[in-house]
């Protein structure tokens, strides 16, 4: 019993360190970290300006990892007048179990960088997005096998592929709505597959995706058009 209690207490301490980390960080920010912070903010500004000048891009989701499994998100939509970005909403999201900087399948990390949003999918009916929308059915899989379908969403009934990847239909509410990203767009095995923006589930982290509140996910989905970008970086207070 005592042992169990101790374990529980230790878990609580670790959890409070993870969850409360943001409260402790500001006091411990060094000059070097401030420099990094300024640099990241500058890079974020530059990426917004870059796509402001790109007529093919009309929406941007900025995801900034804060602490533990948490991230801040900002959703921008471009106004025709002066191609100005307006902030539609800001919110929070969950990232990978092992945080940021994905390099290989199974590392539990969410990628850093700038990617295209390549399409949408969902177990629920398409709420009216302008993106191409894959209806997730019991035969829809996100392939993670070393084969021609790696890093693509397939219908095993159509392909005949005996897929050992993610059986997407099982992941509700996570895959009620989702967006596909251009991460590993060359589909090189095993650099990572199925890096999605999807709805939050019961776990306060993902396997390497970005999880939004379902209401935020739906807002993004309804606004998204071809050419939308997602930008992921590290955030410092």
Q: How many CA atoms lie within 13 A of 19 on its CB side?
A: 8
Least distance to Zn ion from the beta carbon of 2, Å?
Answer: 48
When the beta carbons of 145 and 214 are compared against Zn ion, the nearer one is 145
Interface ranges with Zn ion (CB under 5 A) = 143, 145, 163, 165
Pairing mode of beta strands 85-94, 113-122: unpaired
Least distance to Zn ion from the beta carbon of 121, Å?
Answer: 16
- Greatest distance between any 2 Cα atoms in the chain: 66
When the beta carbons of 100 and 136 are compared against Zn ion, the nearer one is 136
| Residues ≥6 apart with Cβ < 8 Å to 214 | 173, 176, 177, 199, 200
Least distance to Zn ion from the beta carbon of 164, Å?
Answer: 6
When the beta carbons of 149 and 231 are compared against Zn ion, the nearer one is 149
* Coil vs helix vs strand at 160: coil
Least distance to Zn ion from the beta carbon of 112, Å?
Answer: 26
Residues 199 and 211: beta-carbon distance below 8 Å = yes
When the beta carbons of 163 and 230 are compared against Zn ion, the nearer one is 163
């Amino acid at each position: 019993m005592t042992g169990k209690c101790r374990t529980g207490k230790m878990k609580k301490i670790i959890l409070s360190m993870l969850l409360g980390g943001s409260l402790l960080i500001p006091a411990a920010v060094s000059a070097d970290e401030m420099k990094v912070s300024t640099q990241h903010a500058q890079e974020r500004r530059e990426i917004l300006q870059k796509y402001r000048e790109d007529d093919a891009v009309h929406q941007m989701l900025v995801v900034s990892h804060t602490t533990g499994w948490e991230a801040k998100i900002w959703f921008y939509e471009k106004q025709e007048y002066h191609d100005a970005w307006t902030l539609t909403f800001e919110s929070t999201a969950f990232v990978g179990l092992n945080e940021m900087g994905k390099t290989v399948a199974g590392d539990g990390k969410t990628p850093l960088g700038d990617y295209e949003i390549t399409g949408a999918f969902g177990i629920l009916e398409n709420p009216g997005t302008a993106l191409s929308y894959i209806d997730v059915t019991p035969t829809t899989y996100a392939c993670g096998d070393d084969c021609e379908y790696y890093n693509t969403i397939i219908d095993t009934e159509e392909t005949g592929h005996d897929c050992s990847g993610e059986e997407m239909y099982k992941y509700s509410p996570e895959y009620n709505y989702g967006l596909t990203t251009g991460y590993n767009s060359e589909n090189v095995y095993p650099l990572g597959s199925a890096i999605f923006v999807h709805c939050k589930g019961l776990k306060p982290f993902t396997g390497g995706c970005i999880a939004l509140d379902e209401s935020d996910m739906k807002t993004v989905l309804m606004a998204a058009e071809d050419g939308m970008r997602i930008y992921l970086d590290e955030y410092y207070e």
